[in-house]
Amino acid sequence: MKFKLIFFSLLLTVSLSARKVDGGEALFNNKQYAKARAVYEQLLKQKPNDALYNFRYAYCCYELKDMESAIAHFEMCGSRFPMRDLYLGELYFNTYRFDQSIMAYQTYISTLKSNDPKLSDCQRKVTLAEAGVRMLTKVDDIALIDSVVVNKFEFLKAYKYSRELGALKQELMKISPRRTVDKITYTTQRNDRIYFSDSIKGHMNLFTSYKLLDSWSEPSAISAVINTPANENYPFLLLDGVTVYFASDGDNSIGGYDIFVTRFSPSTNTYLAPENIGFPFNSPANDYMMVIDEQHKIGWFASDRNQPAGKVIIYSFVSGEAKTVVRSDDKEYVRRVAMLKQFRKAVLTDSTNVASNQNNAAVTTEKQIEFIVNDSVVYTHIDQFKSESGVKIWSELHALSGTIEKLKLELVAQRSMYANSAVDADKNKISETILDLERRNVIMEKLVLTKTAKLRNDENKFISTGK
């Protein structure tokens, strides 16, 4: 009788597990990724090393923009699924792990045939990641004054600049039934010249026009050095009359729009080759509309990094400081500064001027977050948590994620040491360290999954019941 009960219990467990697998697969195939992720989260508790479960859980996280969880589980699913290296290439890139992005893309490229249409796109992404590696070596150390999230289609309202700089105007231009773009016009303070963007055969370029006695000159392209077959937009001219900031999504962009600067050279009657102003101003997202008030030492720029559709974040920062580059052997620190996850906080010194903290203390943008509660609710600010435990659990998750990232960096270093060691005794010691790090990593990732599930359940319960 006892044997029959045990057998029945095992049979019931297997049956329930099979139902979960089938249910997860159906949700996954129907692109219900939030629900599918919840199913695979439960399945991973039973089989944490299952390649298929890890791959599908990772892909759900990828679709839901949970990049760190996606990375962790794509890494755990092994090499059974070639597409995982394509996704990892993108995820590493978007989290500024450019060295790893290059390796992942190259691994994926090795699985493609020479005539595969995806080959050229992957090679282009390797080139972008290589540019990212170079840009990480010269991250500007800036002091942020403030940041505010606003609607993209009226973002200029957040720019509180002096009218002595001139005037900026934003109009919405419909390029196609599915594409609306910003048309930006900058007018000088003396109202004698304008710089503006306009559409030419579906892409944006920059133009200029001069004030005549009672009219304006015919618009002319600003310069062949600036305008490219890509999109150029968001012009701003410094009061010096020669320095132009603008945004472009061309070949020298790290992704989407990047901010560039150029200067007019009277000796050659043309502009110098535009320079990408680098991290942390630019990112793999869209970054644009640099405005500099040199007199009051304040600058502004817009970015849609980590923002939901239709929203952008406006950063204000201290301008006019002597330019310094972040110098640190801590790669994680440099990465966080490049992402504007960590920065110096500026201090207002009077009604118009600002100065950075003397102690260069770093602060973090932990209040700006991205947490997917369900298919229709995404939190972008820490104050949006409604359950009593919400902020506490999020803080714990944030700390755990930082620890896991450091563990992974240490794993990369130890594996490199193992590969380059020629002494067996040393390799044995390194191997033990690697195994210990891997065990700690698995434990922490399981803890992240548990805490994430609790946080999501608590928030959904509050949304449903109000308590």
First to last CA, the chain: 46
CATH topology for 20-137? 1.25.40
- Cβ-contact 206, 242 below 8 angstroms: no
Which pTM does this prediction carry? 0.74
Q: pLDDT 10s per residue in the chain (467 long)?
A: 555 545 444 444 444 455 556 678 889 999 899 999 999 999 999 999 999 999 999 999 999 989 999 999 999 998 889 899 999 999 999 999 999 999 999 999 999 999 999 999 999 999 999 999 999 999 999 999 999 999 999 999 999 998 899 999 999 999 888 889 999 999 999 999 999 999 988 899 999 999 988 888 999 999 999 999 999 999 999 999 999 999 999 989 998 999 999 999 888 889 999 999 999 999 999 999 999 999 889 999 999 998 888 899 999 999 987 888 998 888 899 999 999 988 888 866 554 455 444 444 455 555 566 778 876 677 777 777 888 788 888 888 878 887 887 777 777 777 767 766 667 777 788 888 888 888 888 888 888 888 888 888 888 888 777 66
pLDDT at 23: 75
Per-domain boundaries in the chain: 20-137, 139-363, 378-465
d(Cα 184, Cα 244) in Å, to the nearest integer? 14
